[in-house]
Amino acid sequence: MLYLYPSFYFYMALPFFYFAEERFTLGNQIILDEAVSKHIVQALRMQNGEKLILSNGNGIIATCIIADNHRKKCTVEVINAQIKNPPQHKTIIAVSPIKNSSRFEWFLEKATEIGVSEIAPLLCSRTEKQSLKPERAKNILVSAMLQSRQCRLPLYHEPVKFENYMDTLKNENTLQKFIAHCENAEHKFLLTPFEKPASSIILIGPEGDFTAEEIQLALQHNFTAVSLGQNRLRTETAALVASVLLALK
């Protein structure tokens, strides 16, 4: 059973950790893994009886009390839990992976902090690198979620070819769809202060931009061509700008 707290932010002052559990039941005892246990016991020097927060990355937050501060298998007991309502709109960034993995990892981190709902690695004709290892990407997303004290992880998709991704969206009519490219100057800016799409997706291409064929295919699937400004941006910068414009409302 989940109990709703009157103030979400009051409980966010407690130390905050990730635990991949579908649900948290009142009174349950949870044994944390060694890495988290060491951080709690050795780094934070937390003692039995102290409280902390666990989140499963799917909107559920559990307040727990330390029952056994073992440095390798710290045990905590769930004393309360809550569900944070999902955002009213979702933002999907479909972006080509780039050759420099550290720059793509930086984007994943910042997009999570901003509150992007989904990230889809998009394999385009000019994409130079397929993607990060899924486990590596997951660790980055979890770390950024905890750093920004959120309780929802972005959904990170398997890498998908551009044309296949278009097929999955051909009947999608609940999203406002954008493609950002540099093919010509006949674009409008992505958003004005008065444009607030409820849910949206934007396609961000590789360092060499989308091909003309890819742009045309997106337009045939009801994507709107947009500009992210007068300057030509790196892929990860363009993806971050798009995240800010679409997710921060």
The answer to whether residues 103 and 156 belong to one domain is: yes
Average pLDDT over residues 19-23: 83
Domain termination site, one of 83, 105, 122: 83
Looking at per-residue pLDDT, the higher value among 87 and 235 belongs to 235
Residue 4: per-residue pLDDT: 43
Give the range of the structural domain holding residue 187, as residue numbers without chain letter.
Answer: 91-247
Helix (H) or strand (E) holding 147: helix 134-147
| Contact predicate 225/181, CB 8 Å | yes
Q: Are strands 155-156 and 51-55 parallel, antiparallel or unpaired?
A: unpaired
Residues 147, 31 share a domain: no
Tokens of 92: 């999907």
Over residues 104-127, the mean pLDDT reads: 95
Residues 121 and 231 in one domain: yes
pLDDT over 80 at 240, yes or no:
yes
Decide which of 83, 101, 133 is a domain's last residue: 83
Sign, CA dihedral 158-161-164-166, equals positive
Q: Distance between CA 121 and CA 148 in Å, rounded?
A: 23
Mean pLDDT, range 216-220, rounded to an integer: 94
CATH number at residue 199: 3.40.1280.10
Residues 144 and 230 in one domain: yes
Residue that is written with structure tokens 């769809």 in the block? 177
Q: Are residues 169 and 108 in the same domain?
A: yes
Q: pLDDT band for 1, please (50, 70, 90 cuts).
A: very low
Return the percentage of the chain with pLDDT > 70, whole number.
89
Is residue 111 situated within a structural domain? yes
What's the pLDDT band for 141 if we cut at 50, 70, 90?
very high
Last residue of a domain, one of 57, 83, 109: 83
In this structure, the answer to whether residues 22 and 98 fall within a common structural domain is no
Gap between the Cα atoms of 68 and 31, Å rounded:
9
In a domain, 199, yes or no: yes
76 and 186 share a domain?
Answer: no
Pair 77, 106 in one domain: no
Average pLDDT (17-22) is: 87
Least confident segment among 108-117, 172-181, 205-214: 172-181
Residues 151, 177 within the same domain: yes
Q: Provide the pLDDT confidence category of residue 29 given band limits of 50, 70 and 90.
A: very high
What CA–CA distance (Å, rounded) separates 96 from 110? 16
Residues 116 and 139 in one domain: yes
| Domain identity same for 52 and 99 | no
| 132, 104 contact by CB (below 8 A) | yes
Tell me the average pLDDT across 4-32: 76
pLDDT tens profile 163-206: 999 999 988 888 899 999 887 756 566 655 445 557 999 999 99
CATH code where residue 50 lies: 2.40.240.20
- Per-residue confidence (pLDDT) for residue 230, from 0 to 100: 81
Does residue 1 lie in a domain region? no
Task: Indicate the helix (H) or strand (E) that contains 44.
Answer: none
**Residue 224 and residue 191 share a domain:** yes
Do 30 and 56 meet the contact criterion of CB atoms below 8 Å apart? Answer: no
Residue 148, pLDDT > 90, answer yes
Structure confidence at residue 198 (pLDDT): 75
Q: Is residue 137 classed as helix, strand or coil in its secondary structure?
A: helix
Categorize the per-residue pLDDT at 75 as very low, low, confident or very high, splitting at 50, 70 and 90: very high
Tell me if 79 is assigned to some domain.
yes
Give the pTM: 0.87
Evaluate if residue 94 carries a pLDDT over 60. Answer: yes
The tally of domains found in the chain comes to 2
